Amino acid sequence: MAGLPGPLARDDRRRSGYREMVRGLVGTRVERREDRHLLTRGGTYVADLDDPLLDGALHAVFLRSTVAHARIRVDVAHATSAPGVVGAFSADDLDVVPRPSPINPKFTTQWLASDVVRWVGQPVAVVVATDIASAIDALEQIDVEYETLPVVVDSEAALRDEVLLYPTAGTNLCSEATNGNVAFEAEDIFAGCDIVVEGRLVNQRLAACPLEVRGAAVAWTADGRLVYWTSSQLP
């Protein structure tokens, strides 16, 4: 929370009243201090950038999948001749190479889907134009054929491996880790307990509501450096 001190050493907590302050915050409405600045045009968003490096910059807009799992065929020919369009590209046009996951190389990703889409919103094509309005209009000229495939909608269904998003991997399980003392089995631990309480806990999906959607601006400098502005944590 904005304005709160960071963690203190144990002795410092006793002397400073840190614990009492934290206890007083539990269940208390704390006013956010940074929102007014951002909501009243105080922040600088990617769309607001006014840097000389961006003079004459082109705009790129992505067409995204409308289904969760399908084989696709993408035709961008009509979009290339739309007003203001400099280029329209599919994965085949750019020879996009799948990138192995650093967690498990059997699972790959690429910034434009080529043959199969695996989630709603996965980019399938990109349009580059002289202005953002022309780029958005040209998206409607791209033809995408979807041959829908069975979908996986939750983690338990994924673990059954009845529908594989990456058939060559042979499983939907990308990574597995065990914490704690693996020498004890749960059945052995609870066998001697008088009372055993069981429960099923479900954690909701994260649905963020950002003030700014994902976006970026990129420019080359005269000395060959690449300058990158982004609304996200990483390029």
Token pair in block for residue 113? 């889907």
Strand stretches in the chain, DSSP E: 59-64, 70-75, 85-90, 99-100, 108-109, 116-117, 123-129, 143-148, 216-220, 226-230
Q: What is the pLDDT of residue 88?
A: 98
Percentage of the residues of the chain whose pLDDT score is greater than 70: 88
121: buried, middle or exposed (CB in 10 Å: 19+, 13-18, 0-12)?
exposed
- In angstroms, the CA 129 to CA 82 distance is 9
Is residue 68 situated within a structural domain?
Answer: yes
Residue 177 in domain = yes
Residue 170 lies in a domain: yes
pLDDT of residue 125: 98
Tally of domains within the chain: 1
Q: Tell me, yes or no, whether 3 lies in a domain.
A: no
Range of the domain at 74: 34-230
Range among 70-79, 96-105, 202-211 with highest mean pLDDT value: 70-79
In a domain, 8, yes or no: no
End-to-end CA distance of the chain: 26
Residue 28 lies in a domain: no
Specify the pLDDT at position 183.
59
Domain with residue 175: its CATH number is: 3.90.1170.50
**Domain annotation covers residue 5:** no
**pLDDT surpassing 80 at residue 128:** yes
> Taking Cα atoms as reference points, which of 171, 68, 61, 173 lies closest to residue 116?
68
Q: Which residue has the higher pLDDT, 208 or 49?
A: 49
Q: Phi first, then psi: what are they for 18, rounded to 5°?
A: -60, -45
More confident residue, 202 or 125: 125
pTM of structure: 0.75
Residue 1 clears pLDDT 50, i.e. is over it: no
Q: How confident is the model at residue 83 (pLDDT cuts 50, 70, 90)?
A: very high
